[in-house]
């Protein structure tokens, strides 16, 4: 990934709700193509600091130009749920703001070697960090039918999860399922496409497997428990989610966590103009919260 095609989602809204100031210390916990981090760096200036995290080693390798033009940016290969350890390593205890743009980036989707896209054929990997954990093809080779169905239903809300799981188990007896193209074709034969329905039948299956492979919901839940303690009083946490599995726990945490004051009664959605420029933004929901003063302060 030498250049980025990623367009930062809800960029103006992130700046508005994160409210960066010159000299602020901010975190972009999902660096991706660096779009949000670049905007934050411009706001905090040379006196500030932006710490970028990403699990994907390709993202870290591609961040050189961003760091060259904005030396106040430093990047680390880490899960955003590991932010506490990253801050400890750079001798920081708290920051002024954190933004998370959940899910995967356009760059990851566009790389056929990663298997994220059901529109391109490539190895069915789906890992954000290809050096850790098991690829999706290995999990599909050993999971039993019930586990496959449960994963597709739980993480993809796939109504035809049992039918797809049954077909996967039957197919792998004759031939291993090793590529994104194989899996996409299999799912399309199982899931009827409604007339006028734009979403590919393989969408939910690929989402479910990606979430399971990368432990995304566990990471989010861990982060929601830990990140408020890493914010200075008045510091802000901004999270962009793309489906209800992500948005629901964010909404609950922002409303119920006594350490946080909820700033967005309803999620902030992209404008029609942004959706026209960047169709992948259409399902984005932004929520913001602010760190409350500690009782002893």
Closest Cα to residue 105, out of 235, 207, 251, 4?
Answer: 4
pLDDT of residue 7: 83
49-54 and 25-28 strand pairing: parallel
Least confident of 115-119, 217-221, 258-262, 267-271: 115-119
The SS3 call for residue 274 is helix
By the 10 Å C-beta count (0-12 exposed, 13-18 middle, 19+ buried), 36 is classed as buried
Bridge partners, 97 (sequence order): 26, 236
Contact 235, 151 (CB under 8 A): no
In the predicted structure, residue 87 carries a pLDDT above the cut 70: yes
For residue 136, what are its two tokens?
A: 């999706």
Contact 249, 224 (CB under 8 A): yes
Up-side HSE of residue 60: CA atoms within 13 Å toward CB?
A: 15
Domains along the chain?
11-107+217-291 (3.40.50.150), 112-215 (1.10.150.170)
Closest Cα to residue 294, out of 223, 224, 232?
Answer: 232
- Which tens digits make up the pLDDT trace of 16-26? 999 999 999 99
Contact 236, 289 (CB under 8 A): yes
Helix axes 180-190, 203-214, angle to 10 degrees: 130
Unique residue bearing structure tokens 């002893």: 296
Contact 286, 258 (CB under 8 A): no
The SS3 call for residue 95 is strand
Least confident of 9-13, 115-119, 145-149, 234-238: 115-119
Mean pLDDT score, 179-183 = 96
Percent of the chain with pLDDT over 70: 96
Contact 118, 202 (CB under 8 A): yes
- Work out the pLDDT band at 1, boundaries 50, 70, 90: very low
49-54 and 231-241 strand pairing: unpaired
Closest Cα to residue 95, out of 46, 41, 28, 8?
Answer: 28
- Work out the pLDDT band at 106, boundaries 50, 70, 90: confident
State how far the alpha carbon of 58 is from the alpha carbons of 72, 89, 128, in Å: 21, 22, 9
pLDDT of residue 161: 97
Say what the pTM is.
0.93
């Amino acid at each position: 990934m030498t250049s980025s095609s990623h367009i930062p989602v809800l960029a103006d809204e992130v700046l508005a709700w994160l409210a960066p100031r010159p000299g602020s210390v901010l975190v972009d916990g999902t660096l991706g193509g660096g779009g949000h981090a670049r905007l934050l760096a411009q706001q905090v200036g040379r006196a500030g600091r932006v710490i970028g995290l990403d699990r994907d080693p390709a993202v870290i390798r591609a961040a050189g130009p961003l760091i060259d033009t904005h030396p106040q940016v430093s990047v680390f290969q880490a899960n955003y749920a590991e932010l506490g350890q990253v801050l400890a390593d750079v001798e920081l205890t708290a920051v002024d703001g954190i933004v998370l743009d959940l899910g995967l980036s356009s760059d990851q989707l566009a790389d056929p070697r990663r298997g994220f896209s059901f529109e391109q054929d490539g190895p069915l990997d789906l890992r954000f960090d290809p050096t850790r954990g098991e690829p999706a093809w290995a999990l599909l080779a050993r999971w039993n039918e019930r586990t496959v169905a449960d994963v597709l239903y739980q993480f993809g809300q796939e109504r035809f999860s049992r039918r797809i799981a049954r077909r996967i188990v039957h197919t792998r007896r004759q031939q291993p399922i090793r590529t994104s193209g194989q899996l996409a074709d299999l799912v399309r034969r199982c899931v009827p496409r409604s007339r006028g329905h734009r979403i590919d039948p393989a969408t939910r299956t690929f989402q479910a497997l990606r979430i399971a492979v990368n432990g995304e919901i566990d990471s989010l839940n861990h982060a929601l428990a830990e990140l408020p303690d890493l914010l200075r009083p008045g510091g802000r946490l901004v999270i962009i989610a793309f489906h209800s599995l992500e948005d629901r726990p964010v909404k609950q945490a922002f409303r119920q966590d006594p350490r946080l004051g909820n700033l967005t009664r309803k999620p902030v959605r992209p404008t029609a103009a942004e959706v026209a420029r960047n169709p992948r933004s259409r399902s984005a929901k932004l929520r913001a919260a602010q760190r409350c003063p500690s009782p002893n302060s």
